[in-house]
Chains A and B, each alone.
Chain A
Amino acid sequence: MQERARGGPVDPAEAVGEPEWDDRLRLVFTCAHPALPLEARVALTLRTVGGLSTAEVARAFFVSESTMGQRIVRAKAKIAHAGIPYRVPPADALPERLDGVLAVLYLIHNEGYAATSGADLQRPDLAAEAIRLGRLLVGLLPEPEARGLLALMLLQHARSAARVDAAGDLVPLEEQDRTRWDAAEIVEGLGSLAAPESGRGPYRVQAEIQAVHARAASAGETDWHAILARYDELPSSPFVALNRAIALGMAERPEAGLAALARLAASGALEGYHLLPAARADLSRRAGRLTDAAESYRAALELAPTEPERRYLQRRLGELGG
């Protein structure tokens, strides 16, 4: 065991079963090693840490079992041949490498979160699987960002039943039936955030935003000022700027949000991204600028990539009465 701890490459499949906790943690870092292609990291983590069968992983990513099998075999071959170590990284490399592990879990979660159509009942619930892996990771390594990611995943997943209506259409947060949110997941998610404030990273801050929504008894009672303050803490990006503008419009007046959106549009950073005109439409509607709102809904409709999103925008456009 000591020999393996010193970094000799190992076939991760050998470690499947009931490994001791430190073996399991080493496996997490080996499977999410940045020298592996991202898709291989995801597949290997689900297969060897999550214990899913190759067939299940293949179904989750809509590829054939043989394709997935090859992907996993190639990844294991690279672990052996490139000398990827089987160990927890030393303290100085840990934060960076933990980021990589968390990114893999969040990717698995989002893959499940974005595809809630339920068309394939045999598809494993990837979001739930990511949460299971997140709990495992937090149990092994209770770092603030690992807990933050677990909270973020739980608080998002808690809303999954309310996110889609009977017709399969997306229900925006504002219109969701909050009694259908999963109370147990919310409690667990908030609990994961209860720990110390030191080392608040982006996952934790995003989880805190979700926590504000989770605590609001109704959409109208949402503490948008708290959300706005959290967006100011996140590393700046066009997507953060977009969400911050929406929060600003909700916290103060829609016009303030519209002005921020105009600045973002002028930067050209989100050119062609449908949620930019969709946000403009929503805040214009709230400001009573119905002509502007209709124009922005039409712009968003042109760009929206999926049918449920187009149906949602079409319905909003119709409700303007224009």
Chain B
Amino acid sequence: MEYLLLYAEGIDAQPYDPAEDNIAEWVADVQTRGISEYGERLRPGQDATSVRVRNTRVLVTEGPFTEAREWVGGFDIVDCRDLDEAIDVASRHPAARFGAVEVRPFMTWPDAVPGQRVVPADLPGRAAKGVRYLMLVCVDPTGEKDGPDDPNAWVHEMDGRGVRLFGEVLRPPADATLVRSRGGKVLVTDGPFAEAKEWIAGLDLLEVSGLDEAIEVAAAHPMARAGLMVLSPLWPFDVADDHVARAEREAPERGIRTEPKVSR
């Protein structure tokens, strides 16, 4: 079964300690197991952009939907035997110690091609042709109820334009599992990382010329009317890096917005 691991930051945990960051070990482990499909770190929440369409107007706001401190700092897509393996893998990720990992199964469709994975097998080796954004498709109770919500036409169009690298719908938050590691013990609980009225229903990885194109692509999705889209720029880093040096180098960026400020 395929799972999305969402790394939530800002959960009651020990502060990030780069000296204890063993991400290279983790990546080596999931690669040895053959379960890793794709994963990226995301830029801080302040660099995220929310897109809604209401009364045919595109509303763009800074930051993610939740006003809480916690937000998604990265993600991985893994193909595990069952939930226990996904929990095991999640619990070993440094994010389980420095935050929490939300484990979300993907929707499985009755007409799915057997053996086909969410992420195209050649994607990790493919050179980027543009700027990549993770687009989180979210349900928002304030969204418009009467509009179309079938994304097939959008998927077809964006695949044709080459701006959508992959995407899939997630099982609802009721099927989510939260995994934390505290003091050497693995804590497994029911539910998503944040109890908000909005919730993450799916995701797409976009490859575009920049934020403006990302907003245009997001706004064209039917869920921009019925819910909202959150665009998060990726924040790649070398897992084999000296994390202490990296954290020092990146420290200023954590407090400075690097995406152009949006207002429409």
**A-side interface residues toward B, CB under 8 Å?**
6-9, 33-38, 40, 74, 77-78, 81-85, 89, 93, 96
A36 to B84, CA, bound (A): 12
| B81 cross-chain contacts in A, Cβ below 8 A | 6-7, 85
Interface residues on B, range: 20 to 34
Interface residues as binary, B63-86 with A (CB distance below 8 Å gives 1, 0 otherwise):
000000000000000001111101
- Complex contact B84–A85 (CB within 8 A): yes
- Complex contact A81–B82 (CB within 8 A): no
Q: Which residue of the partner chain, among A37, A38, A82, contacts B83 with CB atoms under 8 Å?
A: A82
B174 within 8 A of A: yes
Q: Which residue of the partner chain, among A37, A82, A89, contacts B105 with CB atoms under 8 Å?
A: A82
- Complex contact A82–B84 (CB within 8 A): no
Other than the given A35-B103, A93-B84, 13 more pairs (CB < 8 A) read: A35-B83, A35-B189, A82-B103, A82-B105, A82-B171, A82-B176, A83-B3, A83-B83, A83-B105, A84-B82, A89-B84, A96-B185, A96-B186
- Complex contact B82–A7 (CB within 8 A): yes
- Complex contact A35–B87 (CB within 8 A): yes
| A35 cross-chain contacts in B, Cβ below 8 A | 83, 87, 103, 177, 188-190
The 10 closest A-B pairs by CB, nearest first: A34-B188, A35-B177, A85-B82, A83-B1, A7-B82, A83-B83, A37-B190, A82-B175, A83-B82, A81-B175
| B82 cross-chain contacts in A, Cβ below 8 A | 7-9, 83-85
A93 to B88, CA, bound (A): 9
| B191 cross-chain contacts in A, Cβ below 8 A | 37
| B185 cross-chain contacts in A, Cβ below 8 A | 96
| B103 cross-chain contacts in A, Cβ below 8 A | 35, 82
- Complex contact B105–A36 (CB within 8 A): no
B202 to chain A, nearest CB (A): 15
A8 to B189, CA, bound (A): 21
A84 to B185, CA, bound (A): 20
**B-side interface residues toward A, CB under 8 Å?**
1, 3, 80-84, 86-88, 103, 105, 171, 174-177, 185-186, 188-191
A78 to B171, CA, bound (A): 9
**Max chain B C-beta neighbours (<10 A), residue from A9, A78, A83, A96:** A83
A81 to B3, CA, bound (A): 11
Q: Select from chain A the residue with minimum beta-carbon distance to B87.
A: A35
A281 to chain B, nearest CB (A): 37
- Complex contact A85–B186 (CB within 8 A): no
| B186 cross-chain contacts in A, Cβ below 8 A | 96
A9 to B83, CA, bound (A): 10
A186 to B155, CA, bound (A): 67
**Max chain A C-beta neighbours (<10 A), residue from B82, B86, B174, B185:** B82
For this complex, 24 residue pairs linking A to B, each with C-beta atoms less than 8 Å apart, are: A7-B84, A8-B82, A33-B83, A34-B188, A34-B189, A35-B188, A36-B190, A37-B190, A38-B190, A40-B190, A81-B105, A81-B175, A82-B83, A82-B176, A82-B177, A83-B1, A83-B82, A83-B105, A84-B82, A84-B83, A84-B84, A85-B81, A85-B83, A96-B186
Q: Select from chain A the residue with minimum beta-carbon distance to B191.
A: A37
